[in-house]
Structure formats: structure tokens, C-alpha cells
Structure 1
Amino acid sequence: MMNRRQFLARSALFGSAAWLTLGAPGKLLAAASQGKPLGIQLYMVLKAYQDDPLGALKTLKAIGYTEIEAIVTSTAKTLRDQLNETGLRSPSMHFDSLGFESGIDAAHTLGSQFIVSSMLPAIMQKEQAAKGKSAPEPTYSLDEAKRAAEYANRLGEKAKQAGLQYAYHNHHLEFTDVGGGQTFYDVLLKETDHKLVQFELDCGWVHAGGKNPADIFKANPGRIPLMHAKDFLPGANDKNNYPGAELGRGTLDYKPIMAAADTSGLKHCFVEQEGPFDRMSQLDAARVDFAYLRPMR
């Protein structure tokens, strides 16, 4: 199974040229009602969902999740009806290969507040190629960071006009040094309009990029309303390989991260684990991840 970064890169390749435009269940459920909402990115359980949509969503609800972050693999109306039937909600969605304009429609259908994308350099490269212009591979340079910030502001303005909030989701390459003591991600934070562009911090990819997620939350209060709780196995990045780990079984201690996130103004936390799921199924991994993170919420 490809990891999410590879999945999104493939979406960028085949998507719209204009806009890709990118314990016991009862006890767990009781615990969920006592703390803040805890969600899961639907991509994490995509195979289970595609095999049995209602069954997978009902299992997530029984585990204790109350929110999902949506990706739309059929239609937004179909997913909305499934969520209504299972008692889940979707405050955030990744528009991925829907394209941005269709993503706006899908977000309205789902009742989502946030519309999210990632890999802006790849999206911009795709658009340039579609116009017949030279489109070199993304470099995550200072100039590219400035262009990405301008592009993100345009997405944010369109989202605002549609009554939504745009947010940008990172991978590890955003923490490439661009000179002057800055990373690509630093430039995005600095040169995007705070009201138009907010951020979804994927903590696993932050760590893979050599940074501390808690430090980023502390340095940017009010900018990061969304997060992905993710981890990788020790030794990840060997030959650019990033095998996912269940939370608590990888390399990250989420206690200081969650404390910093909540102080910073976090609104929604979504579990997202990369594959391969060879130690256990996607839904069993979702259960382990919930059990680890729930006491911190």
C-alpha cells in the first residue's frame, strides 16, 4: 500500500490540470464522551472503508472516534449519508483529486469547515505543465516557497469567498533549509495571510523532516487548528522508506505534543497512520491509536 504522500503525488499526476488542485469498545466510547473530539483521516482505513463502507464507519464510531477527516472516493453525498447513518461528522476534508472547485462543493455537502491540500509545489508544477510551460521537479527552494505562499493565499481567498477555511498539510520536504535560518515551512507561515491560510500539522512528517512538532505549535499560536497524529517505525527514512507505526510504538511521545497543540489553539486532531498494515488490520491499528491518544484528549 502506498503511503499518503505517494497517494497525493499520484493524485497530482492524474487530477485536474487546473486545481489539483490537492480495550472494550463500550469503555472506549465512554471515555470519548469525557474529553475533546478525536478524529481519524479516512485515508488511514481506506481499504476497510472501500470493502465495507458502513461497517468500517460503524467500527470507528464504536472504537470512540466522533470525527473523520474526509477524502471523497465516490460522491460527497454518499459519504455524507453514510456519516449521518453512523453518527460521525466531518469538520475537515482533503480535496485531493477532486480539484479545488469540486472540493468546495463537496465540503458544503459534507458540512465541513476546513478544506485542506498539501504538496503545493507538485500542484504548481502540474499547472505549469498543463499550460505548456517548463515544469522542473519541485526543489523546495526559497523562491518556490514564496510562490507556494502566494498560491496558498489565492486558494485561501477562494475558500473564504465560499464560506470555508483553507489549510495546508505538510509532509517532510517542507522542512528543507532554504537559507537564512529558515525552512520552506517557515516561509509559508511568514508569507501567507493568517486569516486566509491556516495549517494542518502532520506531526509524523514534521519529525521525519528533523523538527519537533511541539516547538512548531508553541511558535505559532492560532495558526494550526488541525493536526495529524502520526508516527513511523524506528529507522524510517532508510532509502526514503517510511513505514508507519501505531501511536506509542514508534519514535514520538505525544504527551508534550498534545499539550503544546491544545495551548496553541488546536481544534481537531485526526489520527493517520501510514502502511504497511502487515502487523494488524487498518481498523485494529485505528483501535490501538485511539487507545494511546484518548487519555491525552
Structure 2
Amino acid sequence: MPTLSRDREGAGTPTNCSTANPDRKGGVSSDANRDREGAGTPTNRSTANPDRKGGVSVDPNPNPQPAHNSTPTDSTQNHPMPNHTRRNFLGALAGTAAALQAEPLGMPAGFQVFPIREALAKDFPGTLRQMAEIGYKTTEMCSPPGYVSSGFGPLVSMSAATMKKTIQDAGLRCESCHYGAKELKENLDERIAFAKELGLKQMILSSFGLPQTATLDDWKKAADGLNPIGEKMQKAGIQCGFHNHNGEFKELGGVLIYDELMRRLDPKLVKMQFQVAVVSIGFQAATYMEKYPGRILSLHLADWDSATKKSVAVGKGSVDWKQLFAKARKGGVKNYFVEVNMDAMQESYPFLRSLKV
């Protein structure tokens, strides 16, 4: 999510994945300014065209999986393979399938829903199926109650069980979701309960919602306040995370805000989700994964064309993805989510699929 100004949030408002007014240029949607909930109606740059129109619909009839009932046979014998031969055959077959499905770090490619939120709100199951058809296998949601003004209103009434089933029926799974600061402060128990039923492994605070004029002390106070939230999530079996924007990569009094946050946040209670798009302002994700091993849980992927100064699909810009994923492997990254518009998501997946790290 290249954020050019997501740090300019209104205090206490939900953010990122997040919340409102993406300002990505060049065909790739940004989560910049998404934190300014209620600042206006965000525009969706997604080009998805699901067939269904109107409100959210849940497909009760997922496509059935084909059965595999045949027993492999030895080509030189007229009888079923011995058990050990059959095991070898199936093992080799599984290895071949894994190689064909290889994605960076051996992790399934995921996508963030914010750039396609308008299509998602009109046809939740159809848009998810469209993403699965591209090849994506996981999705990262945004908390509908926290992002009503960003276009997630039609999903607010959907139960966690229905949402989970709809995602699974599309051939996807969801293990991560973004939240705004206000809802985590005021409705934490409710959000944790929903997250557990949805099957989340991590809950990500997308922004502190601090104004652009925030002091370093303001950032310190916000970080200190996230630790007890992270502790409560951890007791529920869910990892708390924090997602950066461009704003964390400016200095106040000679101190880089991101480094100060890393000093204040408990490394066990709060992990980081790193937005690779800060490459647009000169910061490399690989540098921080090396600097803070074990503390960066997740990545948001987008690329940057330094010649045109535009955000582009993954693999189409200046990010050294081999280096980044090599550092991610050592740094303990557990998942990653592409966050660009639909066209760029379609372009990004083949690159990730072919990337050898």
C-alpha cells in the first residue's frame, strides 16, 4: 500500500486497510490517508466487474471439489501398486504439485481487500471468487464496523460465521484483519470475539490515528497504549500487529519515529506489518527486516517506479524482491498481502508465482 500521506489522520479514527481516501497514482491504489475515517467518500480504483449487483450476497453453493477415487497402478504389472510404491508415487506427486504452486517463502499469496472494497461491498462472494481465480489463496480483511465510511458498510451486518464460510467457499482463507484505533480502544472484547470466530491469527492496528502535528511524546504515548491491547489479544490466542505508513518514517528531534516505536512496543505483544511502499520515500523494507529480526510478522506488497514516480504492480518497479524475501525468510515473516488495484493484482500474482528466492 504505497502511502503518500496516510500519516495525516484525524486523532482516534480508524485507519489503513484501512480507512479512506487512497491517493495512489498510476493505476495502483494506495492506502494513503485511509486513516482519516469520515474525511470523505473514498474512491475505489478497482476494476473488478463481478456479475452480481446490489447488496452483499452469500453463495450457498460452493463449487464441489472433484473426487480422486482411482488407485494408481504400476505400468509393468496388472495389479495395484505395493503400498511402498504407491507412497513413493504420491510423495513425488505431492512434491511436483508443491513446486508448481511455489510462491515466495512457500507461503500462499494473499491480498488486502481495501483497494477492491467497492466491488466487495456489491458482491462479496463473487469478488472473492474472482481473486481466487487469479491465484490468490489468502485475504486480509478490514473490520467492517471500523470502516463504514470507507465503503465496508454493507458487510457490517454479516456474522463472523457467514463471512468465514463465504471466504472459504471462494477457495480462500482469512487469517488477518485491519482495525482502527478507536474500535480497539472502545470495542476490544467484541472485536476479539469476532476475530476468533472468523479464525484470525493476527489483528492489525492500521494506524494510531495521530494528526500530522503529533509530537514524539504523542507517538510514545500511543505505542505504550497498544501494549496492553496486544496482551489481551495474546491471551485470546491472537497476535497483535501494527502497520506503518509513510508518517512513521520521518524524524522528530533527530529521532526516526519508526525506531522509537520499536523501542516502545513490546516485541512479544506487538509485531509489525511492514508496508513495502515506503520505498517511494527512500526506505527499504529489507533494511528493517535485518535491523529488527523476528519483529516483523507480515508484509504489504506494492512496487514503485522511480522513473515515473508512480506506484506499480509487484515486480514492475524498483523493489528488489529477491533480497526482500530472502531477508523476510530470516526475519520471521509469516504472511504477505498484495495491496494494489485489481488490474495490478492480476499483474502481481504471476510475478510472485515465478519468483525464486
TM over 0.5: yes
The match for 1:259 is 326
Contact 1:11 1:97 in 2 (8 A): no
Q: Give TM-score scaled by structure 1 length.
A: 0.76
In structure 2, the gaps of 5 or more residues are 1-19, 23-30, 42-96, 145-151
- Relative to structure 1, the CA distance from residue 108 to residue 98 in structure 2 (aligned partners, 3 Å threshold; closer, same or farther) is farther
Distance in 2 (alpha carbons) for counterparts of 1:30 and 1:77: 33
The match for 1:7 is 34
The match for 1:119 is 207
- Relative to structure 1, the CA distance from residue 236 to residue 140 in structure 2 (aligned partners, 3 Å threshold; closer, same or farther) is farther
Please identify the structure whose Cα radius of gyration is greater: 2
Letter of the 1:65 partner, please give it: Y
- Relative to structure 1, the CA distance from residue 48 to residue 97 in structure 2 (aligned partners, 3 Å threshold; closer, same or farther) is farther
Contact 1:149 1:187 in 2 (8 A): no
Indicate which of 231, 250, 272 corresponds to 1:199: 272
Aligned residue for 1:147, secondary structure, equals helix
Distance in 2 (alpha carbons) for counterparts of 1:216 and 1:254: 14
Tell me the number of residue pairs that the alignment of Structure 1 and Structure 2 aligns. Answer: 255
Superposed CA offset, 1:171-190 (max 9, x none)? 0010111235x310101111
Contact 2:296 2:332 in 1 (8 A): yes
Indicate which of 276, 284, 288 corresponds to 2:347: 288
Q: CA RMSD in A?
A: 2.8
Distance in 2 (alpha carbons) for counterparts of 1:161 and 1:236: 47
Superposed CA offset, 1:207-241 (max 9, x none)? 2343111100011111011110112444788xxxx
Aligned residue for 2:272, secondary structure, equals strand
Letter of the 2:299 partner, please give it: M
Superposed CA offset, 1:134-181 (max 9, x none)? xxx34353212211220121221221233211100000010111235x
Superposed CA offset, 1:18-51 (max 9, x none)? xxxxxxxxxx998436732111111132223223
Aligned residue for 1:9, secondary structure, equals coil
Indicate which of 268, 272, 278 corresponds to 2:339: 272
Structure whose residues are more often helix by fraction:
1
The match for 2:135 is 64
Contact 2:36 2:209 in 1 (8 A): no
The match for 1:131 is none
The match for 1:157 is 231
Indicate which of 299, 308, 311 corresponds to 1:244: 311
Distance in 2 (alpha carbons) for counterparts of 1:257 and 1:99: 33
Deviation at 1:97, TM superposition (A): 8.1
Distance in 1 (alpha carbons) for counterparts of 2:132 and 2:164: 15
- Relative to structure 1, the CA distance from residue 236 to residue 285 in structure 2 (aligned partners, 3 Å threshold; closer, same or farther) is same
Superposed counterparts of 1:220-231, under 5 Å: 220-231=292-303
Letter of the 2:32 partner, please give it: R
Indicate which of 220, 235, 240 corresponds to 1:166: 240
Distance in 1 (alpha carbons) for counterparts of 2:162 and 2:226: 29
Distance in 1 (alpha carbons) for counterparts of 2:244 and 2:229: 16
Aligned residue for 1:8, secondary structure, equals coil
- Using CA pairs under 8 Å that are at least 6 residues apart, name the structure with larger relative contact order, 1 or 2: 2
Distance in 1 (alpha carbons) for counterparts of 2:251 and 2:131: 39
Aligned residue for 1:37, secondary structure, equals coil
Letter of the 1:256 partner, please give it: Q
Of the structure 1 ranges 48-57 and 90-99, higher mean CA displacement relative to structure 2 is found in 90-99
